[in-house]
């Protein structure tokens, strides 16, 4: 018997919480959602501050019969844990089975988390999930957008990055949608890719959550 609880931001705008949420849905794992109000600083105070290592969202709590409760933060670590713990044949995979493709998917995930800061800052996920951001991109953000587009054009050659959908597709589509959904120029090929990825049921389940303003 497994009991899984995912802590997300109250506003449902965290791209990192989204990644874990989509992973849990793709694996058809039953789970509870607990919402943490980041605007109120609830993550900086007990009990949430001390639940996991970082006090950030997402955090996953996994209780299983005969095991001590397991608490994990950092979205890519959580996705990896779920992928290893809940694999085939009972659960779908969210990362490629092929070793090199899996490494490339993780490469995309790591890059999206560590680069493109001006895009994340000037095109927060409010512009993706709540309302369009009208402020023009700064010179720095335009340069970051050009880098994103150049690299994405090398990566994208069809509906999915690899032989089948993987969680890196959702993460890349989200990064592209920070530009696309705010009307920033993006080549049609990448718009088509992001639009296709956005139709995925697990992604739409996150997109359609009722939400209030918050940035991530
Ligand atoms: N690298 C982390 C990033 C998590 C993160 O930045 N979470 C934000 C919300 S999007 C957060 O909890 N912010 C509140 C804080 O850092 O105090 C991950 O992938 O999970």
Q: What is the pLDDT of residues 166-188, one digit of tens each?
A: 999 999 999 999 999 999 999 99
b/e for 122-155, b at 16 or more Cβ within 10 A? bbbbbbbbbeebeeebeeebbebbeebbebbeeb
Q: Pick from 12, 14, 125 the residue to mutate for probing ligand 1's pocket: most ligand atoms within 8 Å of its CB.
A: 14
In short, whether 171's Cβ falls inside 6 Å of ligand 1 is no
Can you tell me which atom of ligand 1 is nearest the CA of 74? Answer: 20
β-pairing verdict for 70-73 and 59-64: antiparallel
Return d(Cα 101, Cα 12) in angstroms, integer: 30
Protein residue whose Cα sits closest to atom 16 of ligand 1: 56
Query: What does the DSSP 8-state code read for residue 42?
Result: G
Rounded distance between C-alpha atoms, residue 163 and residue 124, angstroms = 30
Burial 7-46 (b: 16+ CB within 10 A, else e): bbbbbbbbbbbbbbbbbbbbbebebeeebbebeeebbeee
pLDDT at 62: 98
- 110: CA distance to ligand 1 center in Å? 14
- The CATH architecture of the domain made up of 99-203 is Up-down Bundle (1.20)
Q: Is 21 in the pocket of ligand 1 (CB under 6 A)?
A: no
pLDDT band at 211 (very low <50, low <70, confident <90, very high): confident
- Ligand 1 lined by 75 (C-beta under 6 Å): yes
Q: What is the pLDDT of residues 25-63, one digit of tens each?
A: 999 999 999 999 999 999 999 999 999 999 999 999 999
CATH class held by domain 2-94: alpha beta
pLDDT in tens, 58-78: 999 999 999 999 999 999 999
- Domain positions in the chain are 2-94, 99-203
What's the gap in Å between 198 CA and the centre of ligand 1? 22
Q: How high is the pLDDT of residue 212?
A: 62
pLDDT value, residue 215: 56
Q: Classify residue 210 by burial, with Cβ atoms within 10 Å: 0-12, 13-18, 19+.
A: exposed
Does 45 sit behind a cis peptide bond, omega within 30 degrees of 0 on the bond before it?
no
Q: Which atom of ligand 1 is nearest to the CA of 38?
A: 14
* Nearest by Cα to 17 from 26, 27, 25, 7: 7
Q: Would you tell me the crossing angle of helices 139-155 and 188-198 to the nearest 10 degrees?
A: 80
The single-letter DSSP state of residue 136 is P
- Provide the mean pLDDT of the chain: 96
1-13 average pLDDT score: 96
Ligand 1 center from residue 9 Cα (angstroms): 9
């Amino acid at each position: 018997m497994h009991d899984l609880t995912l802590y997300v931001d109250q506003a449902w705008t965290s791209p990192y919480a989204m990644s874990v949420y989509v992973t849990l849905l793709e694996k058809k794992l039953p789970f509870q959602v607990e919402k943490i109000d980041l605007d109120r600083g609830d993550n900086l105070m007990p009990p949430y501050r001390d639940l996991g290592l970082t006090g950030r969202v997402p955090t996953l709590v996994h209780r299983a019969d005969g095991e001590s409760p397991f608490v994990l933060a950092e979205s890519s670590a959580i996705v990896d844990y779920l992928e290893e713990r809940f694999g085939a044949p009972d659960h779908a995979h969210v990362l490629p089975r092929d070793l090199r493709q899996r490494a490339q998917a993780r490469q995309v995930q790591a890059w999206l988390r560590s680069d493109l800061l001006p895009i994340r800052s000037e095109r927060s996920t409010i512009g993706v999930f709540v309302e369009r951001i009208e402020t023009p991109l700064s010179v720095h953000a335009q340069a970051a957008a050009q880098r994103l587009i150049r690299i994405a054009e090398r990566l994208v050659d069809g509906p999915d990055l690899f032989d089948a959908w993987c969680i890196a597709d959702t993460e890349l589509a989200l990064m592209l949608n920070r530009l696309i959904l705010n009307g920033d120029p993006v080549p049609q090929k990448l718009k088509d890719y992001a639009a296709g990825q956005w139709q995925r049921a697990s992604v739409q389940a996150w997109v359609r959550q009722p939400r209030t303003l918050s940035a991530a």
